[in-house]
Amino acid sequence: AYHVLVSLSLSLSLSTHPSNPPYLKSYIFEVVAGPHLSTTFSCPHTHTYTHQEPAPRPRRSSSDAAPASASASACGLRSVQLQVRDLGLGYDADETVLFKYCGGACERVRSNHDLTRAHLLLGGVLPRPGPSGVGGPCCRPTHHEDLAFLDNAHRWHKVEKLLAAGCSCVG
């Protein structure tokens, strides 16, 4: 059993309309479990993605070996138990919640649109994108769930669209 250290950094952006709640603009999620295992997921709204592979685990004996699968590192829904105060949203709450997020690798698939766009960019027909227009596909939520919790003053709070409910590669 390893001690698990979780750090979560959220960047919130206020919407321009006062009736709209703040939305999650980007996140960095890091899990450190044990002396050499570390995983970092970072995915700002510009659709860039960074993933550092954890250190390899000890191999199973041939009788215990499971079939090799890329599904463990593929884009999908992940979760971790955290106290509400650790979410960085400013609530004084000790309640433990299941934070659901999207993580994993997204394979870059070149479509006909991508090939044509690259040709037009090289030919100068289309303007070159700025730094936010580059990068590979990103594992992002396709829909969200709300989170309701009780704070330490015994008041209920509801944070809309905080938890990922489905994931897909975008960009």
Cα angle for residues 49, 53, 57 (degrees, 5° grid): 155
Q: Is a pLDDT exceeding 60 seen at residue 79? A: yes
Tell me, what's the pLDDT at 56? 43
Residue 4 predicted with pLDDT over 50: no
Question: Where do the structural domains in the chain lie, given as residue ranges?
Answer: 4-54+72-110+137-170
Between CA 144 and CA 141 the distance in angstroms is 7
**75 or 133, which is more confident:** 75
Range 4-54+72-110+137-170: architecture per CATH: Ribbon (2.10)
Mean pLDDT, residues 60-87 taken together = 73
Q: Is the dihedral of CA 53, 55, 61, 64 positive or negative?
A: negative
Mean of per-residue pLDDT scores for the chain = 70
pLDDT the model gives residue 160: 97
Phi, psi of 141 (to 5 degrees): -65, 140
